[in-house]
Amino acid sequence: MKALLAPYRKDEPTHPHPLVSSLPPVTGLGNLVVLSNETLFEMLSHLDIASALDFALVSRRARATLGATLEHRVATKHATHAIGLICRFKLSPYIRFADLKAALHTRQCSSCGGVGDKIFLATAARCCRACLESSDEFKIVELKEANFTQWQQV
């Protein structure tokens, strides 16, 4: 029975886990610290929502940097529910905070030019109810109904 017990060493983790790193926690932005804030903001504006949120998980400084971008501030202030739905429906790898900001800063429907009081979450485009119900641009179909022949010819 004694042969099964190993002595405890302080340098070994008590609960080895593949997601727990033995490296010290990151407190800053690492190698990105040499970049100016303007450059960081420009880079973050090109990230999709999923990547931007992953970046925010790196450190407090990364979270603060993302929170300081205009796109993130506008989207989280005025479209928090939309961001939650985008993440819930797994659309976050395809939409950027900048796309949401652009949709929030226009009142025109992207299809007909009328007053767009809705945001089509699949593309983060501003639209009106009439276009949402009738336009092919905002049509959602099941995968089995989709016609892929037009893309197969390319």
- For 18-69, how does the pLDDT look when each residue is reduced to its tens digit (9 = 90+)? 444 555 655 677 788 888 889 999 999 999 999 999 999 888 888 989 999 9
Query: Mean pLDDT, to the nearest integer, of 71-86?
Result: 92
pLDDT confidence band for 2 (50 / 70 / 90) = very low
* Residues making up the chain, counted from first to last: 154
CA separation (Å) from 14 to 6, 96, 126?
12, 40, 52
Query: Mean pLDDT, to the nearest integer, of 73-102?
Result: 92
Query: Mean pLDDT, to the nearest integer, of 72-96?
Result: 92
Contacts of residue 114, Cβ cutoff 8 Å, sequence gap at least 6: 108, 128, 130, 131
Span 110-139, pLDDT tens digits: 999 999 999 998 889 999 999 988 888 888
Residue 140: the pLDDT is 78
DSSP state at residue 119? E
Encode burial over 48-79: b for 16+ CB neighbours within 10 A, e otherwise: bbbebbebbebbeebeebbeebebbebbeeeb
Residue 16 predicted with pLDDT over 90 = no
Residue 18: the pLDDT is 45
pLDDT confidence band for 145 (50 / 70 / 90) = low
pLDDT confidence band for 93 (50 / 70 / 90) = very high
Question: How many CB atoms are located within 10 Å of the residue 94 CB?
Answer: 14
Cβ atoms of 100 and 83 within 8 Å: the answer is yes
CA gap 82, 103 in Å, rounded: 11
CA gap 61, 27 in Å, rounded: 7
CA gap 103, 97 in Å, rounded: 10
Residue 12 predicted with pLDDT over 70 = no
Query: Mean pLDDT, to the nearest integer, of 71-81?
Result: 92
CA gap 123, 139 in Å, rounded: 11
